[in-house]
Chains A and B, each alone.
Chain A
């Protein structure tokens, strides 16, 4: 067995592990026979360990042999040869994907182990672990994807599982509404991604990253498309990345994501999901090299996100929200680094930040518990003077405080200028249609069938 065969098998194992987890947990659910909690845990652990071992083995093999890129071809999943349409399945293990795959396995494994205790006996245990499996599959496929189509496949799975995990505590309307909002933002950013993929297909005839990378391996590739071709594709991908990473103007979903259970908040929105956008920017970095305008746009977006995140994090009164905006700050800085061409620094920053944030978010609930326990033991309040209000505040400080407290008015703006006019317009059309059918049928409006606006309001208040 030669090195390339070993690498091929290890590469397949990296993707096969989360796939087996999805199948192992999903099929019994489909047939209405869910596995026991202990079996699910063992399965999740086994897959995480095996996947991690395979990824680490690839890294070691690559370091020993000096191979910088391991492409694994599965051929065309779908092909219409005469029309030149194909959906190419290809994995790439390189200096970008291998560290991120290892990070994904480490953090998913940690979250799984934590969730096993945190959610033990919970009615939603099965639901959490099937979503966890889909998330792990999505993040691994996105990480090692060698074509833009494969990346899109994983990207969508991450989006769906993230939104459903936010709505995990679905007895309350709050998490559900937040889940739906996150799904909506993800859908629009996914649409941008899909359009970018189509445009890339249209311009180059292929969706392989090879087209973007040229001959070199990451991060030294040179895009083989022109600057003017790179700009629209890159801007659409930047929009997709901004949606996935919660950058401005989509940062409103970050605190909403914290409604989910702590393990998922920690690992998914604090560590992995939020970095997927920046990962995409790193993956398409040759496009940034090809278009200085695009690089400038990336730097500007990153800087705005970092400054906004920094301001917003300072005025939060909830530890998870504060950490969410602190993550945004770091994401912004990482984006600036990518825009400036500091690819390795961005990668190291991303890995470090993901680990730190996971630790902080996982520790947050127990830290508060420990703090209270300590106060009870001592009998006095600890650190009561830490949040002393400054004696004087300038008008500028007040404006900035208000801006940060209102989270940059971003959600308000989106609601006022997009969501509400949209809903009003189409509800108006809905009423017009009803009036038309009633006029045509000569019947009076049926009170029972009219949607009650009051119910919606009551639901909001629950």
Chain B
């Protein structure tokens, strides 16, 4: 396996971990914020370095130079491949944005130590392909939000119930997959349990209530950091996608489609800004799953593109909502707040990010959504049309939220509620990414198409499951599976 030029992956994991340890040892929150910013910046640099370095290698996968963990464990623990290569800098940018834009007045409510620990776990998760280690990391990542909920005195039962189920299903599923050794039934049951776990983590209907609960009870920053990396979809790609037959994945896509449509409908009737954000995110993340589970090159390419575009656009949308909330408190959407005159900049970028999240022409999500719909139509025409309907409803919800927050009688405030330079810079960068990615989409599409093809080629179905897949009526699925049998 090719090696990166520097140990980018280990640095991306270790730096935030060291930062977290250092912050936990401190009692000064303002200093903790400073350390958090420095650590997140360095992690972002390392993650970006990994992405660029990996791009130069032109390989499907690569591991670190001077891989310390490999020497100790005698096993490639941290490996980057075409799926995870852009997700690592995206995740690092997500943490960087949230930490940098946290106001000084909010440092006592936001735990930088747990945030850095979460970042370390996320970086490790995205660079890990070993099933059991991945399950361990995913399980560990559920702890920081739980700690925050406890510290805020909120009830954690909803969160614990769902996350407990998530972890239990992953463990049970992986045990069955490991024990299957040629048994189709065990492999399929194991795959189903793994899928169930991943779908819970992704907030699939009807087991999505933990997400609305988290958004309502945790800090907005923590909730954004926990859901936007879409580790549920990542779990599907790492644990389920390689072993599940095509027909099974395409059947699961229908569940994701129901979630996408339901969440889109729910987002239009929300009267709380956080719940609105949660549902619009749920709808978009479910659409990503729909594309991933189509198991066609076009659908998969679309899903991988939308994964990135949703990450960027909804991060922007979430940041803007967080900026506004930090100044005027919880936002209700049952009245007009009239913030436009106070913060025209935030209003304009809110609109831009909202439109980018629905794949509006000229923004980063447009081509990805087109590909996703095209891929879905190829498999199930009705699915494609429902995807269009879901994005339509999301568009209505986004503009409704814009109107509710920024229009109406002028908000009177004794102090300026305009955004600070760090917030402005982050939002400008996100806006440029959204517009730039929308105007020049070909490099991104090429990269994601290549990744999609490689992922399909690297699917490694057990022989018995493969035999089942060959009986699929879909000519595409049989083509893909026969391709895999030659490996």
259-279 of chain B: CB within 8 A of chain A: 262, 265-266, 268-272
Contacts of B445 in A (CB 8 A): 78, 80
- Asked whether any CB of chain A lies closer than 8 Å to the CB of B155, the reply is yes
Contacts of A153 in B (CB 8 A): 361-362
- Asked whether any CB of chain A lies closer than 8 Å to the CB of B180, the reply is no
Do the beta carbons of A441 and B158 come within 8 Å of each other? yes
Min CB distance A461 to B, Å, is 12
Q: How far is the CA of A216 from the CA of B222 in the complex (A)?
A: 60
Contacts of A422 in B (CB 8 A): 265
Q: How far is the CA of A144 from the CA of B306 in the complex (A)?
A: 29
- Asked whether any CB of chain A lies closer than 8 Å to the CB of B132, the reply is no
Do the beta carbons of B374 and A77 come within 8 Å of each other? no
Contacts of A126 in B (CB 8 A): 344
Of the residues A201, A427, A442, A449, contact of B374 by C-beta under 8 Å: A201
Do the beta carbons of A437 and B213 come within 8 Å of each other? yes
- Asked whether any CB of chain B lies closer than 8 Å to the CB of A74, the reply is no
Interface centre among B265, B334, B384 (most CB of A within 10 A): B334
> Residue on A with the closest CB to B394?
A187
Contacts of B158 in A (CB 8 A): 437, 440-441
Contacts of B373 in A (CB 8 A): 194, 198
Contacts of B190 in A (CB 8 A): none
Do the beta carbons of A440 and B367 come within 8 Å of each other? no
Q: How far is the CA of A441 from the CA of B392 in the complex (A)?
A: 34
Of the residues B272, B338, B370, B371, contact of A451 by C-beta under 8 Å: B272
Given known pairs A187-B396, A195-B388, the reply for A179 and B403 (CB within 8 Å) is yes
- Asked whether any CB of chain A lies closer than 8 Å to the CB of B255, the reply is no
Interface size on B, residues (CB 8 A): 64
- Asked whether any CB of chain A lies closer than 8 Å to the CB of B164, the reply is no
- Asked whether any CB of chain B lies closer than 8 Å to the CB of A32, the reply is yes
Of the residues B298, B340, B370, B424, contact of A83 by C-beta under 8 Å: B298
Do the beta carbons of B335 and A455 come within 8 Å of each other? yes
Min CB distance A240 to B, Å, is 12
Q: How far is the CA of A437 from the CA of B156 in the complex (A)?
A: 11
Q: How far is the CA of A436 from the CA of B445 in the complex (A)?
A: 41
Do the beta carbons of B403 and A430 come within 8 Å of each other? no
Do the beta carbons of B361 and A157 come within 8 Å of each other? yes
Q: How far is the CA of A156 from the CA of B361 in the complex (A)?
A: 7
Q: How far is the CA of A267 from the CA of B325 in the complex (A)?
A: 38
Do the beta carbons of B157 and A441 come within 8 Å of each other? yes
> Residue on A with the closest CB to B409?
A171
Contacts of A437 in B (CB 8 A): 158, 209, 212-213
Do the beta carbons of A187 and B155 come within 8 Å of each other? no
Q: How far is the CA of A33 from the CA of B479 in the complex (A)?
A: 55
B 391-405 to A, binary, CB cutoff 8 A, 1 in contact else 0: 110011001100100
Min CB distance A27 to B, Å, is 10
- Asked whether any CB of chain A lies closer than 8 Å to the CB of B283, the reply is no
Q: How far is the CA of A29 from the CA of B272 in the complex (A)?
A: 29
> Residue on B with the closest CB to A190?
B392
Given known pairs A180-B400, A441-B155, the reply for A156 and B360 (CB within 8 Å) is yes
Q: How far is the CA of A452 from the CA of B272 in the complex (A)?
A: 11
Of the residues A31, A79, A442, contact of B428 by C-beta under 8 Å: A31
Interface centre among B158, B336, B361, B392 (most CB of A within 10 A): B361
Contacts of A440 in B (CB 8 A): 157-158, 161, 209
- Asked whether any CB of chain B lies closer than 8 Å to the CB of A269, the reply is no
Do the beta carbons of A433 and B374 come within 8 Å of each other? no
A 176-192 to B, binary, CB cutoff 8 A, 1 in contact else 0: 10011001100110110
A 203-229 to B, binary, CB cutoff 8 A, 1 in contact else 0: 000000000000000000000000000
Q: How far is the CA of A452 from the CA of B341 in the complex (A)?
A: 26
- Asked whether any CB of chain B lies closer than 8 Å to the CB of A443, the reply is yes
Do the beta carbons of A198 and B377 come within 8 Å of each other? yes
Q: How far is the CA of A180 from the CA of B392 in the complex (A)?
A: 13
- Asked whether any CB of chain A lies closer than 8 Å to the CB of B483, the reply is no
- Asked whether any CB of chain A lies closer than 8 Å to the CB of B30, the reply is no
Given known pairs A157-B361, A198-B374, the reply for A187 and B272 (CB within 8 Å) is no
- 12 other A-B residue contacts (CB within 8 Å) besides A30-B431, A80-B298: A78-B367, A83-B298, A157-B362, A160-B360, A183-B399, A198-B384, A430-B266, A437-B158, A440-B157, A441-B157, A451-B334, A456-B335
* Complex A-B: 20 CB contacts under 8 Å: A30-B428, A30-B431, A32-B345, A80-B298, A85-B298, A85-B374, A153-B361, A157-B362, A170-B403, A171-B338, A179-B399, A190-B392, A191-B389, A194-B373, A426-B269, A430-B266, A441-B213, A451-B334, A455-B335, A462-B409
